Homo-oligomer: A and B are copies of this chain.
């Protein structure tokens, strides 16, 4: 319904720089994931867009118009707060109905739409409860329903599903995405769930210490992280340090590793990242494939994680993490000598 442009925005709390010259375009109708470590400024950014705080420098436009002077209530933005901020004096129904009520929606229409929204978040029947009579996850869902029910032109969701169990969360994700598609609300959401970010978003922005470190389509960021931080933050990554050498890297022990793209100038220090699930664990006497990269290592820990096994293997003085899907084959045990194998295309050169 409306694009959002953030241009060179900075925000100070006292002398602490919570946002530092951030510029992002949120395309009209897009579904935008915002990631970043705790305290990196995600909430702060959302608050600026919603109009609760004002940037110390920079500009924000919504639907192509600068909103510096537009008060929050005129921006037509649905925001879901990390702390929920439910109205304690109102029932669940009234909380959700609030955005419609202030828009003078007809009573029958309100009842219908609130009913729909509560069904969507699976809270039908709790209409009359007060927030303090709800469980944590129920509160979060009320907050979500409240933010979307009136179809704002921009939806800001601050960790909307963090208190929900997996099953419910997946259900909500699907619904969220469906609604967002149907109505075309520009949505910006903060999440700490990698999978959620990757599956839901059209684009992802990664914040760190108030700066935008990378921005792009999920697969792009996942497959081609620009920095070691992005690589380890979104998904897991094993980092190998070495010196550039032709189309590969020479590691400390002198072994060569081939990379997807040629790493910068010769002999320069470079870091390359390999995702643990791209690595295959084979017995130490497995076949050596001349094309692939390969390390001989020892399993130091084998951790059961439901649908997968996580192996920590020691190689030199580094621990390499490998994720192997659980297909029921006998797992390797700690102490086993193994060989780790992966393709050069999975070896991405990143900035340290």
Residues of A within 8 A of B (CB): 13, 35-39, 42-44, 82-83, 133-138, 140-141, 158-159, 162-169, 192, 194-195, 198-199, 218-219, 222, 232-236, 275-278, 280, 303-308, 310, 323-328, 342-343, 345-346
Chain A to chain B contacts (Cβ below 8 Å), 21 pairs: A13-B133, A35-B165, A38-B141, A38-B163, A39-B134, A43-B135, A83-B136, A136-B158, A136-B159, A166-B192, A169-B192, A198-B305, A199-B303, A235-B306, A275-B326, A277-B307, A277-B325, A277-B326, A278-B327, A307-B323, A324-B325
Bound form: Cα–Cα A37–B136 in Å: 11
> With a CB–CB cut-off of 8 A, which chain B residues contact A343?
328
Instruction: Say yes or no: B327 contacts A277, CB within 8 Å.
Output: yes
Residue on B nearest A169 in the bound complex, by CB: B192
Instruction: Say yes or no: B280 contacts A327, CB within 8 Å.
Output: yes
Residue on B nearest A14 in the bound complex, by CB: B133
Q: How far is the CB of A134 from chain B (nearest CB, A)?
A: 8
Instruction: Say yes or no: B138 contacts A38, CB within 8 Å.
Output: yes
Bound form: Cα–Cα A166–B345 in Å: 25
> With a CB–CB cut-off of 8 A, which chain B residues contact A218?
304
Instruction: Say yes or no: B167 contacts A232, CB within 8 Å.
Output: yes
Instruction: Say yes or no: B162 contacts A39, CB within 8 Å.
Output: no
Bound form: Cα–Cα A42–B135 in Å: 9
- Contact A325-B328, Cβ < 8 Å, known A141-B38, A163-B82, A192-B163: no
How many copies the complex holds: the figure is 2
- Contact A328-B278, Cβ < 8 Å, known A137-B38, A305-B199: yes
Residue on B nearest A83 in the bound complex, by CB: B136
- Contact A165-B38, Cβ < 8 Å, known A43-B136, A195-B306, A198-B304: yes
> With a CB–CB cut-off of 8 A, which chain B residues contact A134?
39
Residue on B nearest A123 in the bound complex, by CB: B39
> With a CB–CB cut-off of 8 A, which chain B residues contact A35?
165
Q: How far is the CB of A146 from chain B (nearest CB, A)?
A: 16
Instruction: Say yes or no: B219 contacts A194, CB within 8 Å.
Output: no
> With a CB–CB cut-off of 8 A, which chain B residues contact A159?
136, 163
Instruction: Say yes or no: A162 contacts B162, CB within 8 Å.
Output: yes
Bound form: Cα–Cα A75–B168 in Å: 34
Residue on B nearest A233 in the bound complex, by CB: B167
- Contact A277-B192, Cβ < 8 Å, known A38-B165, A39-B137: no
> With a CB–CB cut-off of 8 A, which chain B residues contact A82?
136, 163
Residue on B nearest A277 in the bound complex, by CB: B307
Residue on B nearest A218 in the bound complex, by CB: B304
- Contact A165-B37, Cβ < 8 Å, known A158-B136, A327-B277: yes
Q: How far is the CB of A294 from chain B (nearest CB, A)?
A: 15
> With a CB–CB cut-off of 8 A, which chain B residues contact A219?
304
Instruction: Say yes or no: A307 contacts B236, CB within 8 Å.
Output: yes
Bound form: Cα–Cα A192–B164 in Å: 6
Bound form: Cα–Cα A196–B42 in Å: 24
Identify A163's interface contact among B162, B236, B304, CB under 8 A: B162
> With a CB–CB cut-off of 8 A, which chain B residues contact A280?
327
Instruction: Say yes or no: A308 contacts B43, CB within 8 Å.
Output: no
Instruction: Say yes or no: A165 contacts B233, CB within 8 Å.
Output: yes
> With a CB–CB cut-off of 8 A, which chain B residues contact A327?
277-278, 280
